[in-house]
Amino acid sequence: MPTVIITEKPSAMSKIAHSLSSSPRKVESGRFYWYELSKGKQKIIVTCAVGHLFALDAVKHKGGWSYPVFDVQWVPAYTRKGSEFSKIYLDTLSQAVKKGDDFIVATDFDTEGEVIGYNILKFIVGKTEAKRMKFSSMTKEELVESFENASPSIYINQADAGLTRHYLDFYWGINLTRALTLAIKNSSEKAFAILSTGRVQGPTLAMLHEREMEIRNFKPTPFWQILLHIKLGDMQAVAQYIEEKIWEKENADKILEESKGKDAIVENVDKREYTQSPPVPFNTTDLLTESYNQFKFSPTQTMSLAESLYQAGFISYPRTSSQKLPPNINYVKIIGSLTSLKPYASDARTLLSKGKLIPVEGKREDPAHPAVYPTAEIPRLENLTAQQRKLYDLIVKRFLAAFSDPAIRESNTITLGIDSNKFVIVGKRTVYPGWTKVYSPYVLLDELLLPELNVGDNVKVSEIGQLSKETQPPGRYSQGSILREMENRNLGTKATRAEILKTLYDRGYINSQSIQVTKLGEAVIQALKEFSPKILSEELTKKFEDETEQVSEGKIKREQVVSDAEKILVEILGEFKANEQNIGKKLLEGLQESRKDERRVGNCLNCKTGELNMIFSRKTGKRFVGCTNYKQCGTGFPLPTKGSITALGKACKDCSWPMIRVWVKGRRPYMMCINHKCKSKENWGKGYKTTKPKSQSWQGRKTQIISA
């Protein structure tokens, strides 16, 4: 009988089948298909899942919603809302495995991939033993090698670790969702909203709320700066008093008076050369962070793009903790292949001419996969989408930069004196660009070339000024920096952090690219912090992450960790139940405030005192923007009938009325002014295209229209 290779998704099935044979045969079965091929005398079937074909679900009991819930079972994913599409894949895979007696799991080599393979073996094949293909890229060469050297068994400890995480996340998710939702429901007869939190969501939201409170409670401290506007040859420059911040106004005034009307003397010139090493290769967090910084791609958007490039065989596996590039990936072959792509040819040839190739590496390691790198399978750049091409360019240049020379930079610190007061100006220049040329345009270097000066030279002061400033609160997290902080605090995993962040946006707990906690998110945190703080405990989350890691190492059993989690949850939920009314009231207040925020578009420009809110008319089935003083003011604007609407919090440049973003599923979002008479809409319907955002990352507030 044939050997059956089980892959994770259709694209992987096709890639593996066409790597093992030049002409695999597609076999139709029901509404889907698998591949059959021969390799020597061996007959092979290559079939696929579509991610997780099985999911945990609570065993149904009479009596409706209640908690705690620990009676759970694995069910086909298609039985759950939103995953109905997976049934055709499960049915086809079930038919394919009946034709074989030898099985190879070829899902992604990570915890989730191991769970997918394990559950297919257990619930469809009826066994838990199979061979295992292990690969870090989808290149033909690596897939063939992985098939020919398949491990004799799956990695059961890794599967157990994945199953542990599934049980923990499901227990936390279902129990806390029910607890929060019932708290609101039981606090008011008319109120209902499904709220949720989770094992990692809670501590992450608490961390964001902590930053929000730091910003809100920040007390600015005044300080002063003294600036010298000087002329250096043909160049105008600015030197600053040697103390960057002068905390006493009297001192600042004294320095200003003592220095007025006088030229400066060069007291010291300090030139120093230093090297600047290349950035380390990308791990998942580095890639998500840099992609957000450079392109404003959201983390989930970047992961989706990276996954598509990986499935096509153009980059290595994008879910990795490693910042290392082992020699066995064949540096010379990859860099040699990149010489065929015009944007990278020159830099690639320069590297090959160096002889020995040694990459700079970071400290982080991953036993399963190396850092993210471009493979020797080269895409046709014109066939990539614009976003795929941007991400591919970033990955290629980061890879090439890792093998490049350090940059040599020079700092030139000039100290100027006016009597006893000292001022400093710092020049910087690039002596040798090294890796910075390769990584362009993703590196920005400060360049200020100062003329040659010697000690004792006189410097003409054209103006001296005093600036009054205040210390600033800490900045809000961006979608890039929050992932880094989650990694530093060991919250979530490389594979889950982006999705956790997306969930917080989807739940309405946070908004904006510069992340702000909404009224609802604030209410959830305040209620839990006061009445059930363990739900927000980072220490508890880390404890289970550490124990899950120990399961993967075979040090402890999954059942022990899950049993321990049940006991802790019983304690947490008991405390929650005792305070359910108080928690419900706080959540309800936050929900009402949040809904007000969601409806609000801006201020009325006509009456000056009213607010503009989005309103849905039950009578007409239409939605519009109306002023809260509508009876006296009469201001109102129609809104698009389809799509979700986001208030952008900024004014139209043509008429000053508020701007909104409209997103219709399956289409790109567009921005528009709410004023239907605005001159920006004069050409609408005449081939005019609305303004589209630069990216589809999360911005503004996704609005839920509330009945008037």
Q: Is 317 assigned a catalytic role?
A: yes
Q: Specify the amino acid at residue 390.
A: K
Quote the strand ranges of 99-219, DSSP E.
102-106, 131-132
Q: Helix, strand or coil for residue 6? A: strand
Whole-number Å distance between alpha carbons of 125 and 100: 10
Non-local CB neighbours of 492 within 8 Å, separated by 6+ positions: 200, 204, 486, 500
Task: Identify which of 481, 501, 480 has the alpha carbon closest to the alpha carbon of residue 201.
Answer: 501
Q: Cα–Cα–Cα angle for 319, 320, 326, nearest 5°? A: 130
Q: Phi and psi dihedrals of 559, rounded to 5?
A: -60, -35
Whole-number Å distance between alpha carbons of 708 and 555: 58
Catalytic residue among 78, 89, 292, 317: 317
Contact 525, 209 (CB under 8 A): yes
Whole-number Å distance between alpha carbons of 34 and 98: 13
Non-local CB neighbours of 388 within 8 Å, separated by 6+ positions: 305, 308, 309
Token representation of residue 217: 């409670």
CB atoms within 10 A of CB 656: 12
Token representation of residue 64: 């409706």
Task: Identify which of 146, 442, 165 has the alpha carbon closest to the alpha carbon of residue 282.
Answer: 442
Quote the strand ranges of 107-154, DSSP E.
131-132
Whole-number Å distance between alpha carbons of 590 and 596: 10
Q: Cα–Cα–Cα angle for 128, 131, 136, nearest 5°? A: 115
Catalytically annotated residues? 317
